[in-house]
Chains A and B, each alone.
Chain A
Amino acid sequence: MAEVSLKGVVKRFGPVQAVHDFTLDIAHEEFVVFVGPSGCGKSTTLRMIAGLEDISGGEIRIGDRVVNDLPPRARDISMVFQNYALYPHMTVRDNQGFGLKIAGSPKSEIAEKVGRAAKLLGIESFLTRKPAALSGGQRQRVAMGRAIVRDPAVFLFDEPLSNLDAKLRGQMRTEIRKLHEKVRTTVIYVTHDQVEAMTLADRIVVMRDGRIEQVGTPDEVYHLPASDFVAGFIGSPPMNLLDARTVRDGDGLAVEIPGGPRLPLDPEACRGIEPGRDVRLGLRPEAIAPERIASEMRRPFSFTADITLVEPLGGEALIFLEIGGTEVTARVFRPNTRLSPEKDVPFVVDLGELNLFDPESGRRLCGTRRMPTQ
């Protein structure tokens, strides 16, 4: 069993505080992804867990041991680096077996474990080569093999796919996920790529400026972002954010976009929000669609808007429209009619996909999406 637990972990580099009060519990066999823009402290946090950086405060536990002062070798972890960090003077076989050799494992055991990992990753045919004779994708596999062979309690991945081209990255992403299904181990994975985060994670930790912005399942982070930062960071294209105001709407509450439609709010989800408050309205691109091609929505609401531009992408299309003077992106899947810029087009918006944020703090005030778990 290898839970990882961080309590109030702090990292300072001289006067600069890189990580603030980081608290998180990671369950056994969980796949957790730290995501955020560069400089947000995600890699530093991972390196503190690995023991490659000292911590300036707080407590890190792996399993039932506090590892604050343990060297990396005593933490029962393995790590895959962004630049692979394969030992260039050793063959693939020796690279993979190095950890076991250092630990003094018998030769037969090393050979057996290296062979098993090589088979799992499909690298048996180049065990005798040196890293220089391998392609980027092969090196990445060898780096993962080296991590698996030691059978650690926790796997750490530091942006392992960022040096690969887009196609290979997609393939390797799938392989990492499959690998986790086969080798059930706790995984902590750092990336700046939100697609990787969404596809791989059991839980995503979104970080910003050394702080946790949100922890949640990919669905939670996507549909109910804790802040406008998360809303803008997760999803491509990102969530549309519009300046708006809450108004009384009969018995209930609505949000009004200046120069645009007035959208009724789910009274239950947005309980406690007073009318007359400035807010930022968050709308995912797929929550908006031209009425004539809209697919099924939970709570459709009609309004009209002008289409300014259409970007067909094959299986989907991005439609740019104007609501109250702000450009908004809509995404429709498999559009079967040809779309083009035109005026006064009937649109629908899904009222079950609204998020309201505080314009000052950026924190979410309410979200109308009902999550299956809620």
Chain B
Amino acid sequence: MRIVTTAGIWLIRFAYLAFALFPLLWLLRIALTPDQLLYTEGTTLWPSVITFENFRYVIEESPFPTYFLNTVIVSLGTAAIVTVLSTGIGYAFSRFRFRGKTALMVFLVITQLFPIVMLITPLYQILAPVGLVDTRIGLVVVFTAFNLPFAAFLMHSFFEGIPRELEQAAMIDGCTRFQALIRIILPLMLPGVGATLGFVFTAAWSELLFSLMLISSEAKKTFAVGLLSFVGRSGVDWGQMMAAATLALIPPAIFFTAIQKYLVGGLTAGAIKG
């Protein structure tokens, strides 16, 4: 009976994995398929001949490395700034009583209610006079503004999960509030920090709309905008586009591999009763 259950569970896991990873397989398959075979081989799972020509073209001849670098700068910048700010905001919301706290939290939720498309024109109007249109800093500012409320809520809920007694114990043990935060609370917040970094990084990495509207020069484009350049007047260059997309997946994959141990919670186990 137990064997059947175990087998069933693995079957479900496998089915889920196959479903989730299939688009990635397809991405890779098309990137590796020579152009002339793309339409002749139909829907076979793997091409009879593979080629790295698309990857070579994307890396050596297209402006993709520039896009790529821009995206890394913008995404990492946004993720770092949002994480630092949301840590402060989440801590304040979780640990301090102050006038207008509830109103402020409600206000943060309200900012999430507007369709982003509505805000593009006003945002352009605001950024243009200060010279932030068509700059990477402009993108970082905009991404930070849009990701901060959710990240703050995320961090708030992580702070709520950490017993107040821990920092109180630290403060009795001789720490200032700031020392207690740095030495006791933040090490336990690594899953929260990891989750927030991951969430914001991914959001910034794959953002298209603002990048498309605010960036016009080739040298500042992010890869999401860059991918569109593979859509030509005469058609779509599927092989190169998929090769570029595959390459674009690598940094988030590395990033998540690096932070995954912090995403798995359980660090606070043993802090309190149990």
Contacts and interface: CB of A to CB of B under 8 A. Distances in A.
B59 interface: no
Contacts of A20: none
Contact of B270 (A51, A73, A133): A133
A103 B269 CA distance: 27
Contacts of A86: 169, 270-271
B187 A99 contact: no
B270 A98 contact: no
Contacts of B175: 73, 102
Interface in A63-90: 71-73, 77-79, 81-89
B173 interface: yes
B217 to A, nearest CB: 47
A199 interface: no
A73 B188 contact: no
Given A83-B163, A89-B187, A73 B169 contact: no
B173 A102 contact: yes
A285 B269 CA distance: 45
A81 B172 CA distance: 11
Interface in B144-184: 163, 165-166, 168-176, 179, 184
Interface residues of B, number: 24
B269 A88 contact: yes
B273 interface: yes
Contacts of B267: 88-89
Nearest to B166: A85
Given A72-B171, A73-B175, A98-B173, A87 B184 contact: yes
B268 interface: yes
Given A79-B172, A87-B170, A102 B179 contact: yes
A50 B179 CA distance: 18
A132 interface: yes
B272 interface: yes
B274 interface: yes
Given A88-B188, A131-B271, A81 B174 contact: no
Nearest to A149: B173
Interface string A132-147: 1110100100000010
B160 to A, nearest CB: 15
A130 interface: yes
B69 to A, nearest CB: 36
A73 B174 contact: yes
Contacts of A302: none
A131 B270 contact: yes
B274 A85 contact: no
A85 B169 contact: yes
A139 B165 CA distance: 15
A174 interface: no
Given A85-B163, A85-B165, A102-B179, A71 B171 contact: yes
B168 A99 contact: no
A83 B270 contact: no
A110 to B, nearest CB: 13
Contacts of A72: 168, 171-172
A11 interface: no
Contact of A87 (B269, B271, B274): B271
- 7 smallest CB-CB distances across A and B, nearest first, come from A132-B270, A83-B272, A131-B270, A85-B165, A99-B173, A102-B174, A88-B271
22 contacts: A50-B168, A51-B172, A73-B172, A73-B176, A79-B168, A79-B172, A81-B165, A83-B272, A85-B271, A87-B166, A87-B184, A88-B188, A98-B170, A102-B174, A102-B175, A103-B174, A130-B270, A132-B269, A132-B270, A136-B274, A139-B270, A150-B174
Interface of B: 163, 165-166, 168-176, 179, 184, 187-188, 267-274
Given A73-B174, A87-B170, A146-B169, 11 more contacts: A50-B172, A72-B168, A73-B173, A79-B169, A82-B165, A83-B272, A88-B268, A88-B270, A89-B188, A103-B174, A139-B270
